[in-house]
Structure 1
């Protein structure tokens, strides 16, 4: 079972507190709200340390992100590298919070998806308004629209990947070595 709903995850964690809950969101998103006991290992770090994670992970691993897309990308990479018992929280933290499940809250931050909508919408609006004076600037809006369509078709988001690298989204950053060490102990 590669996707499980929030109610099933709650039962799974209650029955087996040693399940590896790995949150692949940015450190800022993780700081904002996360499941108690979750390990923060951002998606870009999962990709960078794939072999080490597979070598050290023991037991069932549950992957979480904001909506489920990044967690699914991490699951696919981990499964492809030989880690079999990996599941994704269907709907991510959005579904977890909507189900009324307990959450550790910290400083509120905007999720990457919301940041992408703000930036892309602002660029489109600005370029359309600017096109009233400089008609060619409407091409910027077309470029952003094409990028969003490509992101939907490929289930990737170049703007989101770039925004994830900004200091605002990194906070102090995820401690990859500590996260991998926790994978070993569980």
Structure 2
């Protein structure tokens, strides 16, 4: 009985975007792209197809890890940071609370802080983008010290069959 060797390789989306051709040329047969919600995996798939990867060899896990887990799949998580949406809710809520409190204690002008956060959240929902999430993503706790570089990722890929 033969067993297929399966590996998991973490490839940051910006690294794939910059070096898509190299990854496409090194894909080891059948590949499943996975991220938390499926959005970044779809972006990775689009990038790989744009640089010539065989569309039949690349699959996106629909709904990502969240859907897999909801369907009863086992996900083993290491110690991690809060999900980005939770970080945004905490930051936005804290700024609104601080603005309202400061408007009562110090100056009514602090209410503008709460209004600005509300306007930003409204724009975020309408545009499906989030400046606060983009800013929080650059914070040190969201930057993995051991995020792999190009050489480490390419070296971790098996030789093509």
Does the pair score TM above 0.5? yes
In structure 2, relative to structure 1, the CA distance for the partners of 1:168 and 1:83 (3 Å cut) is same
User: In the alignment, which residue of structure 2 is the partner of 1:104?
Assistant: 76
Establish whether residue 52 from structure 1 lines up as the match of residue 22 from structure 2: yes
Cα deviation, residue 84, structure 1: 4.8
Report which of the two has the higher share of strand.
Answer: 1
User: In the alignment, which residue of structure 2 is the partner of 1:164?
Assistant: 137
User: In the alignment, which residue of structure 2 is the partner of 1:140?
Assistant: 113
Show structure 1 runs of 4+ deviating over 6 A. none
In structure 2, relative to structure 1, the CA distance for the partners of 1:175 and 1:149 (3 Å cut) is same
Q: Which runs of 5+ in 2 are unaligned?
A: none
Hey, what's the Cα distance between the residues in 2 that align with 1:131 and 1:81?
54
In structure 2, relative to structure 1, the CA distance for the partners of 1:144 and 1:54 (3 Å cut) is farther
Matches within 5 A, 1:32-181: 37-85=7-55, 86-132=58-104, 133-176=106-149, 177-181=151-155
Count residues with an aligned counterpart: 154
Hey, what's the Cα distance between the residues in 1 that align with 2:101 and 2:91?
15
Task: Provide the alpha-carbon RMSD of the alignment.
Answer: 3.0
Q: Which runs of 5+ in 1 are unaligned?
A: 1-14, 19-36
In structure 2, relative to structure 1, the CA distance for the partners of 1:113 and 1:136 (3 Å cut) is same
- Give the structure-1-normalised TM-score: 0.63
Hey, what's the Cα distance between the residues in 1 that align with 2:79 and 2:35?
17
